[in-house]
Structure 1
Amino acid sequence: MSTESADAAEPGTAAAAQPVNPFARPSAAAPSVPPSAVPPQPVNPFAPPSPPPAPGVPGAPVAPGRFGASEVIEAGAGPGRKEPRFKVGTLFLAAVLAGPVVGAGVGYAIQASRPPTPLPVIAAPKLSYPAERVDAKALAAAGPQPLDIDGDLRALLIERPAGSEDRTGGDGDGWLSPADMAENYGDSAHEFTSMLSEGFRRAASVSWESGDDLYRVSLVQYAPEATLKAITGAAPRSTVDADVSAIPGNPDSYLVVGRQPLHYARSTDTYYYGEALARKGNVVMTVEVYAENPVDRAQLEDIARRQWEKLA
């Protein structure tokens, strides 16, 4: 059997040239091999199939396409005409964008060529003064009224009982700011804003501890124009599960004694609450009791009566 390749060249003819691999690395020159000794090259099974030949006349010239593909040109025909680069949509978009710019330029040119419009003269009213003299009494009556109770509010507070422990808040001098008063309640922010919105002016207080009970007597004065707010302030905070009556000798007052224990804010400790309120002009009197046991009603009435007599 012959060992020659099926593709070997016939005697007397030159062997067909093999394609050169463009990705092969250069190697040293190999010794010359007879054509008959070159083995056949294997076919790449992963290579894509070759495109079918383009229809046309054999031997017709090929012109490059728009995207790099080849186009067959018929024999005797010139290269195909290229499509225009700008289509109707592009021209329309350019016209839409250029229209406002051109219109604005034309409008500015027209407006700039017109003469300026003069502005109207600024008219200021002439100042005038009443010829008659102002009545000083009428002017004073129309202004803010003086306080119903003036002077040092601390002098109007009752003295704490002998033998009791002083628990006066604030700086200890008897004066209380809105912040000092708001700290006595759980919702301090709400109490603070409420006092300022209700016309709070000043407050004085005295507190003492007797046994397991805490007593606090305070006088809160509102601004003259906030008298209605002072009336609103002279109302008990809560009457749930409580006995409500009036201070003896003062029907326009409140005396509240709780029947059930309450919880301190942010605590599990309980207390019994008692409160007495009365109003004198724009000053609100408050007597509060925080007791471990049910509040002694007679003692609360006695403190409220003595404080009201000193205020009135």
Structure 2
Amino acid sequence: MSLSLDTPVPEPPAQPPRPPRPPRRRGRTTLLIATAAVLGVLAGAGAGYQIQYLRPDTPLPSLSQPKLKQPAGAAPSAKPLTAAQDTLVTYDSDLRKLLLKKPKGAKDVTDLFTSDGWMDLYDYADTFKDEKYMFSELNRNGFRRLAAADWTSGNWESYTYKYTEIRLIQFRDETEMFAADHLTDQQDYMSESDFAGNHGKAIPGSGDGVAWVYNKPWTKAGYYDKYEARALARHGNIVMDIWYSSSKPISMKTIQSLAQRQLERL
């Protein structure tokens, strides 16, 4: 029999609903297999330990390195250090003796700023802009002593005036390197426009020494122009601080040479 498009197609008879499947329970077989696996591992470990325990000790192979020979007798006595090699001779002696001597013809003006070549902490801190802060900083950071030397030569009228100021600042450095910190603190601000205005140049032969020639002279109405230079370096627990001023422009070679000659004495 043929069916047209308008003839309804009979639907299949409805199937009765399938009963829901109950959740699967864990059978005893799985539990027995897991228990047997655990017991097997324990038994294997115990058997391995028993076998290793019953084996005789196996001696270790001999070392390939031959036995070192020990020197006989007492070690030779060390030669005493010379004064140049013994840093304690330098650091604990009269610090003033390490200062450069004034050149021939120069005028010594050290006594204007020191007491017999020694400058106390208060007078040294007073040379800084914030003297109270510097006094406190140095006092709590192991300041020990300061030896100074000052001299002048020439005169302003003939534009031959020169002034040299040397400071050897020694720190205790018993637990920390305060000398290195002081050197770094002083070097850090020298490139600012209120000071040298440049990064300076290394002092030949020094590990961390730097010399600066100021970009601009110091000027003030009614006064001669003053050109300035500075050198900072460190040897052990001694910081070398040199100021040099002149009525004429200063060359980098001049301040570097002065710093080198002072460092050679430390």
- Range class of TM-score, shorter chain: 0.5 to 0.7
Question: What is the CA deviation profile of residues 235-291 of structure 1, one whole-angstrom value per residue up to 9, with x for unaligned ones?
Answer: 324113225111112242111111123469xx9886332111111111111111133
Partner of residue 198, structure 1: 141
Match of 1:276 among 231, 244, 247: 231
Does residue 189 of the first structure (1) align with residue 132 of the second (2)?
Answer: yes
Give the direction of change, closer, same or farther, for the CA distance of 1:310–1:148 in structure 2 (3 Å limit): closer
Give the direction of change, closer, same or farther, for the CA distance of 1:190–1:291 in structure 2 (3 Å limit): farther
Partner of residue 206, structure 2: 250
Q: Partner amino acid for 1:280?
A: H
Partner of residue 224, structure 1: 173
How many residue pairs match? The answer is: 164
Q: Which has the larger radius of gyration?
A: 1
Q: Partner amino acid for 2:124?
A: M
Q: 2-side partners of 1:284 and 1:147: how far apart?
A: 17
CA RMSD of aligned residues (A): 2.6
Shift of 1:187: 3.0
Conservation of the 8 A alpha-carbon contact between 2:190 and 2:199 = no
Partner of residue 190, structure 2: 238
Where in structure 2 are the equivalents of 1:1-312 lying within 5 Å? 149-168=91-110, 169-211=112-154, 212-225=161-174, 227-235=176-184, 236=187, 237-240=189-192, 241-262=197-218, 271-311=226-266
Give the direction of change, closer, same or farther, for the CA distance of 1:268–1:162 in structure 2 (3 Å limit): closer
Give the direction of change, closer, same or farther, for the CA distance of 1:290–1:282 in structure 2 (3 Å limit): same
Shift of 1:149: 1.3
Give the direction of change, closer, same or farther, for the CA distance of 1:220–1:226 in structure 2 (3 Å limit): farther
Conservation of the 8 A alpha-carbon contact between 1:243 and 1:257 = no
Q: RCO (CA 8 Å, sep 6+): is it higher in 1 or 2?
A: 2
Q: Which has the higher strand share?
A: 1
Q: Unaligned stretches of 5+ in structure 2?
A: 1-87, 155-160
Give the direction of change, closer, same or farther, for the CA distance of 1:307–1:227 in structure 2 (3 Å limit): farther
Shift of 1:227: 4.3
Larger CA deviation: 152-161 vs 193-202: 193-202
Give the direction of change, closer, same or farther, for the CA distance of 1:192–1:262 in structure 2 (3 Å limit): farther
Conservation of the 8 A alpha-carbon contact between 1:158 and 1:307 = yes
Conservation of the 8 A alpha-carbon contact between 2:114 and 2:148 = no
Q: 2-side partners of 1:229 and 1:204: how far apart?
A: 17
Give the direction of change, closer, same or farther, for the CA distance of 1:186–1:204 in structure 2 (3 Å limit): same
